[in-house]
Amino acid sequence: MRRRRAAATERPAVDLSTQVGSLNLRAPVLTASGTAGHGDELAAYVDLARLGAVVVKSLSADPWPGNPAPRVHETPAGMINSVGLQGPGVAAWLDRELPAVLDTGATVVASIWGTTVDDYRRAAEALAEAPAEVVAVEVNVSCPNHHDRNRMFAHSPATTAEAVQAAAGCGRPMWAKLSPNVSDLASIAAAAHDAGAEAVVLVNTVLGMVIDTEARRPLLGGGGGGLSGPAIHPVAVRAVYDVHAARPELPIVGVGGVARGVDAIELMLAGASAVEVGTASFADPRAVGRVLDEAEDWCHEHGVTAVAELIGDAHAR
């Protein structure tokens, strides 16, 4: 680390700031919701104040127990999880867990979910009094290990719009987290934007399942789950590319299989204004900081003086 920083002082600085809707973030790399806990869990490994933001695990209006064990299983190119959005509820998070992450100097993005439109309204309104360091609210309408395929809000433009509109009481910029498990993602992203989301987060995990061949039944306690990690990175790149092509004015936060700096660069070239690191942090809790360092190094090596110039550049070639 000392060698990398010493070398960096000998070359021009890269402007790492990026704009996501109305928000200016100090860096384009963030944590992904659901992979870094509800607070300062990664602070022992990463300077959270260097990141664009810490996106915390999705919260419901009320405490939620999640799915039965087992909840996580490693796959050949990632992992599948059926955690089921276990969480303490918004009020308990504000009181018990948010102060610790704020003490690190981090910028925070809260994330909310619900099973009904009213759940989103209540969770959002509970966040209205959060401190200013909570700069945005991710409206997670797409978690595949809680909602079945027929009930997920993100599978319909109309229900996506309903959830986003219900969350407006948070009093902050909203980002809608969407599912790749749809036939026309661009139309759903457009509906979220038209309903008030300043940005969309692309993508949540891919629907999957593991069968225990000895017991001859689904291995995870919740049945199916969400596949994440390197296996879904090309899916995320395609989703970001297609939505940016259809709605170039819509800011995108890209997520899915980002484990290296070049993965982050690829998503930005596809059209993302920022990226999130998720599953990689389970294998290496320093991953999000390393990805930021590697992305900065890539910019130096390629003569890029500001990361913002990369956004959507693959569409101009």
How far is Cα 170 from Cα 20, in angstroms, rounded to an integer? 18
CA nearest neighbour of 111 among 71, 132, 141 = 141
Total structural domains in the chain?
1
Is 9 inside any structural domain? yes
CA nearest neighbour of 246 among 196, 200, 206, 277 = 200
| Backbone φ and ψ of 12, nearest 5° | -60, 145
Is 254 inside any structural domain? yes
Question: pLDDT tens, 135-169?
Answer: 999 999 997 655 444 568 888 999 999 999 999 99
How far is Cα 83 from Cα 76, in angstroms, rounded to an integer? 19
Is 264 inside any structural domain? yes
Question: pLDDT tens, 37-80?
Answer: 888 999 999 999 999 999 999 999 999 999 999 999 999 999 99
Query: How crowded is the C-beta side of 232, counted as CA atoms within 13 Å?
Result: 29
Three-state secondary structure call for residue 255: strand
Question: Residue 305 is encoded by which pair of tokens?
Answer: 């003086």
Residue 84, pLDDT score:
86
CA nearest neighbour of 87 among 118, 110, 117 = 110
Task: Respond yes or no: is residue 143 known to be catalytic.
Answer: yes
Burial 58-82 (b: 16+ CB within 10 A, else e): bbbbbebebbeeebebeeeebbbbb
Is 215 inside any structural domain? no
Spatial contact of 232 and 180, defined as CB atoms under 8 Å apart:
yes
Spatial contact of 92 and 62, defined as CB atoms under 8 Å apart:
no
The bridge status of strand 23-25 relative to strand 225-228 is unpaired
The bridge status of strand 199-202 relative to strand 174-177 is parallel
Q: Could you tell me the CATH number of the domain that includes residue 254?
A: 3.20.20.70
Question: pLDDT tens, 107-141?
Answer: 999 999 999 999 999 999 999 999 999 999 999 99
Residue 146, pLDDT score:
53
Element (H, E) at 252: strand 252-255
* Range in 59-73, 188-202, 283-297 the model is least confident about: 59-73
pLDDT of 185 higher than 80: yes
How far is Cα 294 from Cα 70, in angstroms, rounded to an integer? 34
Residue 148, pLDDT score:
45
pLDDT of 9 higher than 70: no
CA nearest neighbour of 177 among 209, 149, 152 = 152
Is 79 inside any structural domain? no
Three-state secondary structure call for residue 19: strand
Length of the chain (residues) = 317
Spatial contact of 164 and 197, defined as CB atoms under 8 Å apart:
yes
Rounded to an integer, the average pLDDT of 281-303 is 97
Q: DSSP code of 93?
A: I
How far is Cα 214 from Cα 222, in angstroms, rounded to an integer? 18
Is 298 inside any structural domain? yes
State the pLDDT confidence band at 317, using cuts at 50, 70 and 90.
confident
Query: How crowded is the C-beta side of 300, counted as CA atoms within 13 Å?
Result: 17
Is 170 inside any structural domain? yes
Is 154 inside any structural domain? yes
How far is Cα 124 from Cα 92, in angstroms, rounded to an integer? 14
Spatial contact of 173 and 135, defined as CB atoms under 8 Å apart:
yes
How far is Cα 179 from Cα 143, in angstroms, rounded to an integer? 8
Its pTM stands at 0.93
| Backbone φ and ψ of 285, nearest 5° | -65, -10
The single residue of 80, 143, 307, 311 carrying the catalytic annotation is 143
State the pLDDT confidence band at 12, using cuts at 50, 70 and 90.
confident
pLDDT of 200 higher than 60: yes
Question: Residue 206 is encoded by which pair of tokens?
Answer: 């891919």
Rounded to an integer, the average pLDDT of 197-203 is 98
Rounded to an integer, the average pLDDT of 209-217 is 96
Q: Which domain holds residue 138?
A: 2-62+89-207+230-310
